[in-house]
Amino acid sequence: MKVTITLCLVIVAQIIGLASCATVPKKTSPEDCLVLIRTTLINETGQASVRDYSFYFSDDIKPVIVDDRNNSFTMVRVRKAGVMLVKLHSKIVSSDFSGAESNQDTDFDLPYKAGQVIIADFAFVRRIVGNRDIGIMIYTDFKRLSPEEKDALMEEAVKNKIIQKWEGNQGSTQ
């Protein structure tokens, strides 16, 4: 029994490791820049989120699904200066809840430095409140980050080996 539990824990750790590697987009050219957008989820209900969120960008960048974990990064590969986050899209993903899809226009510039990993100047924050009996409300907001906050997030990205994974993904497609 102890061996089985240990083996299961090892397999789970490997799956988590593979999943975290898969979230880093591929670097396909020296001009590519990886922009990290901090995503924060404050869930006061303890229930799973019932909405999926996606970021839409200017240029020809495919929409990116927002990471659903607390204090994580949503990552986007940018290939030139001037790209903007132009829309936040959300939709209900649970059959137990109802609600309309929504679109929120935005106008956030994404930073760009060829070949680099950069923290965006803003964070996306979701707060889930209420309960199943009276209803659940989801509030969304964007928060401007201070230079100190951006420095701390870059340290986190280094600690989580995001930069190492980005540089190790060269030559592949997303």
For 51, 143, 170, the CA distances from 90, given in Å and listed in that order, are 6, 18, 31
pLDDT interval class at 170 (50, 70, 90): low
Q: Is 174 a domain residue?
A: no
Q: Is 111 a domain residue?
A: yes
Q: Is 148 a domain residue?
A: yes
Show the tokens assigned to 88.
């936040």
* CA–CA dist 56, 45 (Å, integer): 28
Pairing state between β 102-109 and 84-92? antiparallel
- pLDDT tens-digit profile of 17-51? 333 333 788 898 999 999 999 999 998 888 777 78
- pLDDT tens-digit profile of 68-117? 888 899 999 999 999 999 999 998 877 676 677 899 999 999 999 999 99
* CA–CA dist 77, 23 (Å, integer): 11
* CA–CA dist 121, 68 (Å, integer): 20
Strand partners, 100: none
Strand partners, 14: none
pLDDT at 91: 87
Q: Is 173 a domain residue?
A: no
Q: Is 14 a domain residue?
A: yes
Total domain count, the chain:
1
pLDDT at 173: 43
Q: Is 117 a domain residue?
A: yes
- Residue in 151, 174, 166 with CA at minimum distance from that of residue 30: 166
- pTM of the complete model: 0.79
Structure letter (DSSP) for residue 94: -
Q: Classify 108 as helix, strand or coil.
A: strand
Q: Is 9 a domain residue?
A: yes
Task: Give the structural domain span for 12.
Answer: 2-168
Q: Is 102 a domain residue?
A: yes
* CA–CA dist 72, 95 (Å, integer): 26
